Structure 1
Amino acid sequence: MPKAVIVGGTGQIGLATARRLVGEAWEVTVVSRHPTALPDNCHHIEADARDAEKLCTVVGSDTDLLMSCVAFDAADAECLAQAGRAAGRILAISSASVYRDDEGRTLDEASGLGFPAFSVPLTEKSPTVAPGPETYSTRKVAMESALLSRAACPVTILRPCAIHGPESKHAREWWLVKRLLDGRAAIPLAYRGRSQFQTTSVAAIADAVGRAAAGNLPAIANVSDADSPTVAEIGRAIMDVMDVRAELVGLPDAPAYPPKLGATPWSIPQPMIVTGAASAEATYAQSVEPAVRWLVQHVGNDNWRERLPQLAGYPVDHFDYQADERALRLPGAASLAA
């Protein structure tokens, strides 16, 4: 029976991967700082992700896969490299945010410097930022570089984009799901609903982990859905799952980024489309149902900020319905036909 150790495995990526591996007869141990409910047949060990000494007692020569969902910088990579010296493979989750445009702009600085104009689709050969401690993306690149250079076993780096799935603390779909639950008859969408911000299902990530463990992926692999839906297409897919209908209304292009009205978590002025070695076979519409069902069943209007703390941490009011009404009256606002 193959064995996997998943560090920081209590979030949506770790849980989806654990379920996938257990279903394929893996023995799975999840390492996290606090005890938590886990999928059946998973073991739990309480430890910090940077406690290399403790991790070394968990990971041995019988560990086929050491995976980290919480490796953010070079220090995390060093810890993984030490703990995984005897492992068969180390896998770390990075991010497609590491890519830059020709002027060096990334997602990290978009609100201040302008949204990057990517040459799309982005592939594993597209330019990235330099490693360093300055931003989320530069730290991720530093993690990647350190792990690839210091690990004693094969390494796989996965770069997903806008992740969707159950048990998320940053569920972008809630922006639309809550409006539909609240009975909003019309929903305004910035940039005429045409924005494309690449999506990635946790099912696609779990599948990529299995492919990496079998040695069927390169050292760095982008993970994406089979398509890159527009915001309007995202809205229609969510409405199909919920069997609820609202009018989607496209707003004229905003003069600056981020837009003040109709700004969804996917609203961007230029497309960010990602493809690569671990692109999924399923489209967004085919894979989003688990995320939507989980939101409807487990996230309520009275506690959504507690259940989705990362989404709630945005410096905007996601559900300013008075602003929505102003947006719907803008000159040039137009209904989006399916």
Structure 2
Amino acid sequence: MVPKAVIVGGTGQIGLATARRMIGAGWDVTVVSRHVKALPDGCRHVGVDGRDVEALSAAVSFDTDLLLSCVAFDTADAECLVQAGRAVGRIVAISSASVYCDAEGRTLDEASVCGFPVFSVPLTEQSLTVAPGPETYSTRKVAMENTLLSRAACPVTILRPCAIHGPESKHAREWWFVKRLLDGQSKIPLAYGGCSRFQTTSVAAIADAVVRAAGGDLPAVANVSDADSPTVAEIGRAIMDIMGMRAELIGLPDAPLFPPALGATPWSIPRPMIFSGAATAQATYAQSAGPAVRWLVEHVGNDNWRTRLPQLATYPTPLFDYEADDRAFQLLGAGSFT
């Protein structure tokens, strides 16, 4: 029999990538979302709110093998999945690397106020997480995880990706480099000497992890990451290779505060955040970043980037202040990578 999957929030970046992967693997796929969007061939769409228990339950047939939520955020979302998924073969939910905390309890949520966490790396599925609760994004994610794991009538897999990259993203970090290259910037400053390592995760890796989870090949909680953890400088070089363009990368001296005032990329952190886990991909960042970069070049431009990338546009500091870039090049200790 053809296996059946229902994807809640399936019109977003992760949902679309996973739908394509599952259709290619022979699955029957139904996408649940509030808004209609162009879907991969072979998908059905059900236009309901994923938090409407009755409507979602109606979309999940008794012979559904996999109920995947790409948008489960808190306890309410988890309870809805528990009720709608009472007869499914497995529930998979996308969580986040933000649930991890350091020995002082610091997470990514409070980094700009409390300082960036000092993680013991690599982070594994056994690493410390924050306590569940309604206070922050991270505590709500943990509450969602715990509710699913403790209350679902079927097996559950929680997937924890980190800095996600891929086409159709609303938070495409690669735009930081892509726009500078398209704008003809010949030099690009990188905070922390360009040595920051903020674990990357391709949507392809997430889609593969979903298929593995559906087959029972992953533990109840699995970190999802690329095969490597590239530095910011390595990310920049990979993007330049994909675009066939070049700029000089200038490493800046370490900043006294986080986030740094100059050369702050979306991956710039003072201490590493590196993953190791059950769903590490075979492909490196450089091998898997092409779809994200090409999508940006084809679909995002100076006139629309804030609407196409709304999450990136909400960063508290300007991302493309080229006068600030020029000041960065004058810092004592700024130097070109060889």
Alignment size in residue pairs: 337
CA distance in 2, matches of 1:316, 1:154: 43
1:229 aligns with 2:196: no
The residue identity in structure 2 corresponding to 1:44 is H
Contact persistence 1:61–1:88 (CA under 8 A): no
CA distance in 1, matches of 2:216, 2:134: 31
Q: Secondary structure at the match of 1:107?
A: coil
CA distance in 2, matches of 1:280, 1:139: 27
Deviations 1:111-141 (A, max 9, x none): 0000000000000000100000000000000
**Alignment correspondent of 2:58:** 57
Gaps (5+ residues) in structure 2? none
Q: How many angstroms does 1:313 deviate by?
A: 1.0
**Alignment correspondent of 2:141:** 140
1:307 aligns with 2:286: no
How do residues 65-144 of structure 1 correspond to structure 2 at under 5 angstroms? 65-144=66-145
**Alignment correspondent of 1:200:** 201
CA distance in 1, matches of 2:54, 2:12: 23
CA distance in 2, matches of 1:262, 1:128: 30
Gaps (5+ residues) in structure 1? none
Deviations 1:202-224 (A, max 9, x none): 00000000000010000000000
Moved more, 11-20 or 54-63: 54-63
Q: How many angstroms does 1:330 deviate by?
A: 0.8
Q: Secondary structure at the match of 1:149?
A: helix
Q: How many angstroms does 1:301 deviate by?
A: 1.0
Contact persistence 1:196–1:229 (CA under 8 A): yes
Q: Secondary structure at the match of 2:311?
A: helix
CA distance in 2, matches of 1:300, 1:320: 16
Q: How many angstroms does 1:275 deviate by?
A: 1.2
CA distance in 1, matches of 2:316, 2:209: 33
How do residues 1-338 of structure 1 correspond to structure 2 at under 5 angstroms? 1-337=2-338
Identity of aligned residues (%): 78
CA distance in 2, matches of 1:83, 1:25: 24
CA distance in 2, matches of 1:300, 1:192: 28
Deviations 1:168-195 (A, max 9, x none): 0000000000000001000000000000
CA distance in 2, matches of 1:158, 1:179: 33
CA distance in 1, matches of 2:228, 2:268: 17
The residue identity in structure 2 corresponding to 1:305 is R
- Give me the TM-score of the superposition, normalised by structure 1: 0.99
CA distance in 2, matches of 1:115, 1:261: 17
CA distance in 2, matches of 1:10, 1:274: 27
Q: Secondary structure at the match of 1:17?
A: helix
- Give me the TM-score of the superposition, normalised by structure 2: 0.99
Runs of 4+ in 1 over 3 A off after TM superposition: none
CA distance in 2, matches of 1:223, 1:17: 14
Q: Secondary structure at the match of 2:109?
A: helix
CA distance in 2, matches of 1:121, 1:165: 23
Q: How many angstroms does 1:60 deviate by?
A: 2.1
Deviations 1:22-41 (A, max 9, x none): 11111100000011110111
Q: How many angstroms does 1:49 deviate by?
A: 1.2
The residue identity in structure 2 corresponding to 1:96 is A
CA distance in 1, matches of 2:178, 2:138: 29
CA distance in 1, matches of 2:291, 2:37: 21
CA distance in 2, matches of 1:201, 1:213: 19
